[in-house]
Structure 1
């Protein structure tokens, strides 16, 4: 089997040519990507449902807008928490190594050096154990977003879509997870690229009006 280069932690930005309505102008954070498939969450699909309506203990930690986001069309009855721990990206650019320690200080940490209840995905971005007590992480989380459902691809499926030109792959930034203006995230991510992708940000919502 051909080895797959992991895109975990990067963003998939829907190209204007992508016709699937589930991903129109979507910005997807990849939480896992290997030869077995891919999993991610759409960062710019807020729902009208408040976090407090479904996960009240976590509502105070959720960033604005304090609503649940639709992470994708798969398992809409399940919830995922994605959060940023400030300062983590400077020390870690990937999964923690076994020899790292938590360091001094009163903050709860696992044996791997990460806060208890938070599992690093990439840099400062990680997954939150929503079964854990929120107060364990209240002092360490910089931002939290709750997603209903996720986006999934089987083995080779995402690679096929990339070859067909359905997605741009770009680097993520911690602030993407908690953008206070998700409606503008698609354009904002493209605009910051130092390439011809910055021009795609000006693509009209309705090409027929151009």
Structure 2
């Protein structure tokens, strides 16, 4: 008899920080979950811009961009491996190190995706981050049970097209709520 899993995978979902996360890296963040299973979870924060532009990354990697990328912010993807690049993108092309999260979003960690973006021939939609967020086995489930996170199926428009300053509220609206009105104290009756 096959054992039924007690949790469903949150792969391809947003984690929206609740007011229970009062301070620290994850306060008011939206994280796109790329991997979630029995061994843990991995995601990329999509609404925490660094003081760094994509043009700066190209310069650091000695990539000559065809177009200007001075206005494209790089996100702080999480507190793990902050010196490593993670690119969430539309499934236009496969690169050296690509994880197919679902039919609409892939994650690439190899430099070739950045070279293609710089050349103007990369994925149509993309978000570049340094670092990622990781949870050990059962940790994310415990944090959700403690009301630290709300979860909702991710929306590509929020991920790729919504201005970084509106992503938190837009992700909350996917649940039909105004995230700014949540209290940090759970009520029990």
Could you tell me the TM-score, scaled by structure 2's length?
A: 0.78
Report matched runs for 1:113-132 at 5 Å.
115-117=93-95, 118-132=98-112
The residue number in structure 1 matching 2:89 is: 83
Give the 4+ runs in structure 1 shifted more than 4 A.
58-65, 136-140
C-alpha distance in structure 2 between counterparts of 1:58 and 1:121, whole Å: 29
C-alpha distance in structure 1 between counterparts of 2:69 and 2:103, whole Å: 19
SS at match of 1:24: coil
Are the structure 2 counterparts of residues 125 and 63 from structure 1 closer, same or farther at C-alpha, using a change threshold of 3 Å? farther
The residue number in structure 2 matching 1:106 is: none
SS at match of 1:21: coil
SS at match of 2:25: helix
Per-residue CA deviations over 1:115-155 (Å, capped at 9, x if unaligned) read 33154212311112433263499546221111111111001
1:176 Cα shift?
2.5
C-alpha distance in structure 2 between counterparts of 1:62 and 1:83, whole Å: 19
The residue number in structure 2 matching 1:207 is: none
Alignment check: 8 A CA contact 2:16 2:168 kept: yes
Runs of 5+ consecutive residues of structure 2 not aligned to the other structure: 184-189
Are the structure 2 counterparts of residues 49 and 140 from structure 1 closer, same or farther at C-alpha, using a change threshold of 3 Å? closer
Per-residue CA deviations over 1:46-68 (Å, capped at 9, x if unaligned) read 11111121234486689895121
> Is 1:72 equivalent to 2:85 in the alignment?
no
1:2 Cα shift?
7.6
C-alpha distance in structure 1 between counterparts of 2:88 and 2:69, whole Å: 11
Could you tell me the TM-score, scaled by structure 1's length?
A: 0.71
The residue number in structure 1 matching 2:186 is: none
* Number of residue pairs the alignment of both structures matches: 173
Runs of 5+ consecutive residues of structure 1 not aligned to the other structure: 87-114, 205-210
Of 169, 179, 189, 1:200 maps to 179
1:192 Cα shift?
3.3
SS at match of 1:22: coil
> Is 1:45 equivalent to 2:51 in the alignment?
no
C-alpha distance in structure 2 between counterparts of 1:41 and 1:146, whole Å: 10
SS at match of 1:78: strand
Alignment check: 8 A CA contact 2:55 2:70 kept: no
Are the structure 2 counterparts of residues 135 and 182 from structure 1 closer, same or farther at C-alpha, using a change threshold of 3 Å? closer
The residue number in structure 2 matching 1:170 is: 152
